[in-house]
Amino acid sequence: MAVNMENKDVVLDRAQVKKAVQALQAFLKTKSTKDSLLLDETQQISLLFTLWKIPKTAQTIRIPLPHGQRSDTDEVCLFTRDEPNMTPDQTQRFYKKLLEQRGVTCISEVIPFKTLKKEYKPYEAKRRLLGNFDLFLSDDRIRRLLPSHIGKHFYERKKEPLCVDLQSKNLARDVQRLVQGTTLKVTNKGSCCMARVAHSGMTADEVTENIEATVLTVMEKMRTKGPMIKIIHLKSQNSVALPIYTSDLSHLTLIEEMKKKTKRGQKEKAAKKNKETEDKQADTEEPNNEKNKAVPRDDGKEEEDEEEEIPQLVPMETPTKKPKLEKTVKKKTLKKAPKPPVAPKTKTANRLGKKSDATVKRKVPKVK
């Protein structure tokens, strides 16, 4: 099988793919005989794609398969909207009858939106619901309301519900494509992505046909330019990855050429922008030059306009400290008051003074 697109070439050798499938099935059979106590003997078989470069945008690709990749034991749950003027039990019965009338038999449980909000509100109930079913479908009329109610664990385990139009005329065909088909999630956080393709209970020819169909749809719907896929591996949950396809080293030269082309395009764009800016500057300078041309006089002589000298602006030094202001108001000097005149001493005063001194200096007689 070969897929030829612009710079995209993937060639799968059918015989080599079939040998890898047979070797993987033999390994799974030997393991199932050792672990014969397990009830579920079927295991998932998936394809692992390794890309040359990390894509810029995330993308989900729905892949229809010629043979159903789910076993009959897988259980499917359907989330429906609440019908007006009906209780949750009545809506559940209504949609079960509708599925029977349209010929849909693969859905094992129907849960209305009201019961999802009430009964599966706690964390443990959500985890139990996640473990009880292998696939979840939802009515496209309530797809925007589900993420806030089911929680993040559905998305971490890649079991987020797939949308179905329950009003379509070909409801059985649409549900069968979703249940038996597969999806590939291409993220912009890494260069590897995985898609479930078959189970261990299928024959080798059916598995190889599913592998070819997945590779064809991935090459057609992936939004990348140039060579995309580097290596394709086939593996189960607990087995070693077996390489099915490896790209040639010639893709490296193509990638280098694409990088060079992108660099040249960037340089050309930068040069164009520079030219445009220079042309704009030239257009603005032309009218100014016309004004500076010579002005004719009445005498017939031309006199050029003297260029006026533009005074240079000198920045003023800002003083770091403010100058002290001179004190304008002086303190008034107070004149001392004149001392009063001293009266001259008289003889009587001297006598009185002497007497007083004598009285003070009088000796106290000693008592024997």
What's the CATH fold of domain 1-33+41-51+187-252?
A: Ribulose 1,5 Bisphosphate Carboxylase/Oxygenase (3.30.190)
Q: pLDDT band at 234, cuts 50/70/90?
A: very high
Least confident of 139-153, 175-189, 244-258: 244-258
pLDDT recorded at residue 37: 45
Q: Kindly state the average pLDDT of the residues 253-271.
A: 69
What's the CATH fold of domain 70-180?
A: Rossmann fold (3.40.50)
Cα–Cα dist 27/200, whole Å: 10
pTM: 0.60
Q: What percent of the chain has pLDDT over 90?
A: 14
Smallest CA-to-CA distance from 91 within 130, 128, 139, 127 is with: 139
Q: Sort 59 into a burial class: Cβ within 10 Å, 0-12 / 13-18 / 19+.
A: middle
Q: Kindly state the average pLDDT of the residues 318-341.
A: 57
Cα–Cα dist 61/222, whole Å: 8
pLDDT tens per residue, range 23-39: 998 888 887 665 544 44
- Check residues 339 and 233 and name the one with the higher pLDDT: 233
Q: Kindly state the average pLDDT of the residues 128-138.
A: 90
Where exactly does CATH 3.30.190.20 map onto the chain?
A: 1-33+41-51+187-252
Tell whether the model's pLDDT for residue 161 goes beyond 60.
yes
pLDDT tens per residue, range 139-157: 999 988 888 888 888 888 8
Spell out the alpha helix ranges (H) of 35-165. 88-102, 113-119, 123-132, 147-150, 153-156
- Check residues 121 and 262 and name the one with the higher pLDDT: 121
pLDDT recorded at residue 221: 87
pLDDT recorded at residue 114: 92
Q: Which of the listed ranges 15-19, 244-248, 275-279 does the model predict with the highest average pLDDT?
A: 15-19
Q: pLDDT band at 56, cuts 50/70/90?
A: confident
- Calculate the average pLDDT of the chain: 76
Tell whether the model's pLDDT for residue 79 goes beyond 90.
yes
- Check residues 120 and 39 and name the one with the higher pLDDT: 120
Looking at this protein, which amino acid is placed at residue 347? K
- 56 within 8 A of 188, measured Cβ to Cβ: yes
| DSSP three-state, residue 238 | coil
Cβ-proximal residues to 73 (8 Å cutoff; 6+ apart), any chain: 40, 42
Q: Sort 216 into a burial class: Cβ within 10 Å, 0-12 / 13-18 / 19+.
A: middle
pLDDT recorded at residue 3: 47
Smallest CA-to-CA distance from 8 within 212, 228, 216 is with: 228
Q: What are phi and psi of 118, to 5 degrees?
A: -90, -55
Where exactly does CATH 3.40.50.790 map onto the chain?
A: 70-180
